[in-house]
């Protein structure tokens, strides 16, 4: 995925993906749990190395996928209970069990893909037009051991090469999986006469560190995701914390609504998720509340919204073939310290053209009209054959397949779609409920296709 450093970021999110149906104000939800209002939560977590794989499981942690899925039941008028769907033993399943239980011997990458299907089956909620599974928390470390050649290059086998500053690595084993600790959601008593629920996941990549102090200790990486809700009231509130360390300087944490089936961006296998209807540009919007408690310094990117998808350069749908599938991402960075790298002097970092909301297009060489400040950086897929020079290829190692990334910044050209128009909007101390016209925005963005 994307070069992304982040420290101490706390966010609260309530998401709703809406699709317009005919009339102006009539919406149909594309996600299984609109507004996160359902008392029975469905949430899963996954952890990846630089190329969205496992390679090797962390000791005693099993495969780095777990889920917290439950229904709220009411055995009597005065009593509530949470009926959990995934047991501790199932959450701890790892590639070792696959061989013990007489299954085919498979590697830890394939096992993680299989475990997603297993957890999804347990968490599945029946619905129309199809069942849905869980919100997905994704953790990722940007460390890469260039000498170990663990990650493929644009989907093809890679060879070892000398370390480069753009790939942090402290030495052998730098691509390890984090620990994943799980506080199963529970009822925590009454607040304001309403029953309250909370739960979470937390851990560290510094596996030798003391977990009890990792959250506060200097130079120890840490993450936590907690969620809470009052029974029958409001929506789930998610709180995220992410802290880097000298050994793990580049860490990522996402909360995603994935399609319930198909090949989504970043994966070469079928995934499971929350989005029961795959939205189509330009007809969908996303509504959520975001409150950023603390920034992560001047190198930290924080995405207001990240859209990921997958299609081949000739426009065909992805089919899991890692040399011809291309994952595509676009995200708006709202940390005000991040500046535009796309300038009239660095055209290779700009998309070839910009499309205004009225449909008119302007080429990146048109210095009078091209909105350079609206773009942090653009990079092209490594397997593209007809790129317009000058170009800048995306990191060939950070996804299982070639990728394309368009990172945008707050700017008046995005105001039409409900996005921030000025630096600092939506940042610390400026909590907002956003209603982003992600469908129309994504319809106007440049993506390579021939
Ligand atoms: C209880 O309700 C009051 C009034 O609505 C509110 O200000 C307060 O934050 C609530 N307390 C908790 C713990 O939710
Ligand atoms: C944390 O790491 C930095 C850089 O490696 C070092 O200068 C500092 O002394 C460390 N702090 C502690 C408390 O270990
Ligand atoms: C970024 O922050 C570091 C550490 O606080 C500081 O040394 C550096 O000058 C800052 N860079 C910019 C461009 O603000
Ligand atoms: C994958 O795509 C490449 C490039 O288009 C093609 O040469 C290859 O035959 C495909 N592999 C499979 C298994 O379809
Ligand atoms: C942008 O252009 C300037 C001047 O041409 C150059 O010095 C700099 O290295 C370029 N930056 C990038 C990130 O390519
Ligand atoms: C479209 O909008 C752009 C930017 O506001 C403006 O420069 C251009 O003249 C408009 N084109 C038409 C056909 O209205």
pLDDT digit string (tens) for 360-403?
A: 999 999 999 999 999 999 999 999 999 999 999 999 999 999 99
Instruction: Please choose from 313, 319, 323 the residue to mutate so as to test ligand 4's pocket, defined by most ligand atoms within 8 A of CB.
Output: 323
Cβ-contact 55, 109 below 8 angstroms: yes
Provide the H-helix boundaries in 101-231: 108-123
Residue-wise pLDDT tens digits, 323-368: 999 999 999 999 999 999 999 999 999 999 999 999 999 999 999 9
Query: What is the spatial distance between Cα 313 and Cα 310, in angstroms, rounded to a whole number?
Result: 10
Beta bridge partners of 375: 408
Ligand 5 neighbourhood includes 341 CB (under 6 angstroms)? yes
Nearest CA to ligand 4 atom 1: 321
Q: In this structure, what token pair is assigned to residue 156? A: 């093809």
Instruction: Please choose from 219, 220, 243, 249 the residue to mutate so as to test ligand 2's pocket, defined by most ligand atoms within 8 A of CB.
Output: 219
Cβ-contact 82, 68 below 8 angstroms: no
pLDDT value of position 191 = 82
Q: Of 61-65, 73-77, 207-211, 236-240, which range is least confident?
A: 73-77
Kindly report the pTM of this predicted structure.
0.93
Which of 243, 227, 229, 236 lies closest to 183 in space, CA to CA? 227
Ligand 5 centroid–CA 388 distance in Å is 18
Taking residues 41-61, what's their average pLDDT?
A: 97
Ligand 4 centroid–CA 253 distance in Å is 32
For the chain, what is the radius of gyration of the CA atoms? 22
Instruction: Please choose from 355, 358, 411 the residue to mutate so as to test ligand 6's pocket, defined by most ligand atoms within 8 A of CB.
Output: 358
Query: What is the spatial distance between Cα 167 and Cα 23, in angstroms, rounded to a whole number?
Result: 49
Residue-wise pLDDT tens digits, 136-161: 999 999 999 999 999 999 999 999 99
Which of 364, 367, 363 lies closest to 350 in space, CA to CA? 364
Phi, psi of 91 (to 5 degrees): -65, -30
Taking 60 as the threshold, does the pLDDT of residue 226 lie above it? yes
Percent above pLDDT 70 for the chain: 93
Phi, psi of 374 (to 5 degrees): -85, -10
From the CA of 341, the nearest ligand is 5
Cβ-contact 274, 135 below 8 angstroms: yes
Query: What is the spatial distance between Cα 409 and Cα 422, in angstroms, rounded to a whole number?
Result: 9
pLDDT value of position 201 = 98
Taking residues 236-251, what's their average pLDDT?
A: 96
Cβ-contact 308, 264 below 8 angstroms: yes
Residue-wise pLDDT tens digits, 414-431: 999 999 999 999 999 999
Phi, psi of 239 (to 5 degrees): -120, 130
pLDDT value of position 12 = 41
pLDDT value of position 13 = 43
Residue-wise pLDDT tens digits, 79-103: 999 999 999 999 999 998 887 666 6
Task: Report the Cα–Cα distance between both ends of the chain, in Å, rounded.
Answer: 23
Query: What is the spatial distance between Cα 58 and Cα 155, in angstroms, rounded to a whole number?
Result: 25
Q: Is 89 helix (H, G, I), strand (E, B) or coil?
A: helix
Taking 70 as the threshold, does the pLDDT of residue 2 lie above it? no
Ligand 2 centroid–CA 248 distance in Å is 13
Q: 264 vs 287, which has greater pLDDT?
A: 287
pLDDT value of position 10 = 40
Nearest ligand 3 atom to alpha carbon 299: 1
Ligand 2 centroid–CA 249 distance in Å is 13
| Burial state string for 34-63 with b = 16 or more CB within 10 A and e = fewer than 16 | bbbebbbbbbbbbbbbbbbbbbbbbeebbb
Nearest ligand 1 atom to alpha carbon 230: 14
pLDDT value of position 264 = 82
Provide the H-helix boundaries in 369-449: 438-444
Q: Which residues contact 341 (CB under 8 A, 6 or more apart)?
A: 349, 375, 376, 377
Ligand 1 neighbourhood includes 189 CB (under 6 angstroms)? no
Instruction: Please choose from 209, 217, 218, 245 the residue to mutate so as to test ligand 2's pocket, defined by most ligand atoms within 8 A of CB.
Output: 218
Ligand 1 centroid–CA 192 distance in Å is 6
Query: What is the spatial distance between Cα 330 and Cα 15, in angstroms, rounded to a whole number?
Result: 18
pLDDT value of position 182 = 98
Ligand 4 centroid–CA 320 distance in Å is 10
């Amino acid at each position: 995925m994307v070069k992304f450093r982040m420290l101490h970021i706390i966010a609260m999110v309530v998401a709703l993906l809406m699709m317009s149906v005919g009339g102006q104000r009539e919406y149909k939800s594309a996600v299984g749990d609109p507004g996160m209002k359902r008392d029975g939560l469905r949430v899963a977590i996954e952890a990846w190395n630089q190329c969205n794989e496992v390679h090797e499981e962390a000791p005693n942690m099993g495969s780095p996928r777990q889920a917290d899925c439950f229904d709220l039941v009411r055995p009597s008028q005065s009593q509530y209970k949470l009926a959990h769907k995934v047991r501790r033993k199932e959450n701890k399943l790892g590639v070792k069990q696959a061989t013990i239980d007489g299954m085919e011997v498979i590697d830890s990458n394939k096992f993680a893909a299989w475990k997603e299907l297993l957890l999804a089956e347990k968490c599945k909620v029946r619905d129309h037009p199809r069942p849905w599974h869980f919100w997905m928390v994704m953790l990722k470390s940007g460390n890469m051991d260039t000498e170990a050649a663990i990650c493929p290059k644009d989907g093809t086998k890679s060879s070892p090469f000398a370390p480069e500053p753009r790939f942090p690595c402290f030495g052998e084993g730098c691509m390890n999986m984090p620990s994943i600790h799980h506080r199963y959601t529970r009822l925590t008593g009454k607040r304001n006469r309403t029953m309250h629920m909370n739960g979470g996941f937390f851990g560290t990549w510094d596996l030798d560190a003391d977990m009890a102090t990792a959250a506060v200790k200097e130079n120890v990486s840490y993450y936590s995701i907690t969620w809470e809700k009052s029974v029958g009231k409001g929506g789930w509130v998610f709180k995220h914390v992410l802290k880097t360390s000298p050994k793990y300087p580049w860490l990522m944490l996402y909360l995603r609504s994935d399609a319930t089936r198909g090949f989504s961006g970043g994966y070469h296998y079928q995934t499971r998720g929350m989005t029961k209807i795959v939205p189509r540009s330009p007809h969908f919007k996303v509504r959520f509340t975001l409150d950023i408690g603390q920034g992560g310094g001047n190198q930290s990117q924080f995405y207001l919204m990240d859209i990921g998808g997958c299609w081949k350069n000739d426009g065909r749908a992805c089919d899991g073939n890692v040399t011809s599938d291309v994952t595509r991402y676009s995200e708006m960075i709202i940390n005000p310290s991040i500046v535009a790298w796309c300038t009239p002097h660095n055209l290779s970092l700009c998309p070839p053209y910009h499309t205004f909301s009225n449909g008119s297009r302007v080429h990146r060489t048109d210095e009078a009209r091209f909105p350079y400040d609206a773009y942090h950086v653009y990079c092209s897929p490594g397997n593209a054959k007809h790129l317009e020079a000058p170009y800048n290829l995306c990191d060939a190692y950070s996804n299982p397949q070639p990728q394309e990334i368009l990172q945008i910044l707050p700017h008046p050209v995005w105001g039409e779609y409900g996005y921030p128009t000025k630096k600092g909007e939506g940042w610390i101390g400026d909590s907002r409920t956003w209603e982003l016209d992600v469908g129309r925005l994504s319809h106007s963005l440049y993506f390579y296709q021939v």
